[in-house]
Amino acid sequence: MSGLDPETVMQFLFALRKRGVTDARVLEAMEQVDRGRFVTGLFADRAYEDMPLPISCGQTISQPSVVGLMTQALDVRPRDTVLEIGTGSGYQAAILSKLARRVYTVERHRRLVSETGKLFADLGLTNITAMLSDGSFGLPEQAPFDRIIVTAAAEDPPGPLLAQLKIGGIMVLPVGQSDTVQQLIKVTRTEAGLDYEELTSVRFVPLLEGLGKDEA
């Protein structure tokens, strides 16, 4: 956010801290990525407010504090390979790219994959690979992953994603019915099995099957 006026940046970071985003590395990553590059059109001037906003294909860019809390819960280490399901605007992937060695992000809308691919190249984020696919099945050819983040809500954690998590790996995802409040959960794979922790209430668009029609 280096080109922005300092007051805007300070308020943006203050809103994150107020909502519980306190991890210094996460705050630093979020300070590096200008959210204004990921919001276009009518809502561009609201990019630095702590709210979700509409993007193309009828989808949304998540609220910055939710991005911060999810990233913080994911506890990304510098050598990690991370899988994100639901690229959307690409904002969450861009933040992960500052913290991880490599980020794979998959999206079911072709238009979002091509738009974000161009944006990542433009921003010099060369450690992100954006792909078109139904993320419910994960990315078997690159598995297993150190970290998995799902930014669309499923009723339960998808089995293929659990199977693609390394031992010691962490997955953060919203679960619950799509039209109600969902729970953000953190799943840790241990030698003995899976540990589940509930973090907070959130609201995400649903994790849908198959590829999008791209009519939007």
Give kind and range of the element (H or E) at residue 132.
Answer: strand 128-132
- At residue 105, φ and ψ (nearest 5 deg) are -130, 130
Q: How many H-runs (helices) and E-runs (strands) does the chain carry?
A: 6, 9
CB of 126 to ligand SAH, least distance (A): 19
CB of 190 to ligand SAH, least distance (A): 27
CB of 149 to ligand SAH, least distance (A): 8
Q: Which residues bind ligand SAH (CB under 6 A)?
A: 59-62, 85-86, 88-89, 91-92, 106-109, 112, 134-136, 151-152, 205, 207-208, 212
Write out the catalytic residue numbers: 62
| Closer to ligand SAH by Cβ: residue 69 or 207 | 207
What tokens does 62 get? 């998540």
Task: Tell me how crowded residue 9 is: count the other CB atoms within 10 A of its CB.
Answer: 16
Find where tokens 């992960």 sit.
96
| Closer to ligand SAH by Cβ: residue 92 or 182 | 92
- Residue 97's Cβ-side half-sphere holds a number of Cα atoms within 13 Å equal to 20
| Closer to ligand SAH by Cβ: residue 13 or 139 | 139
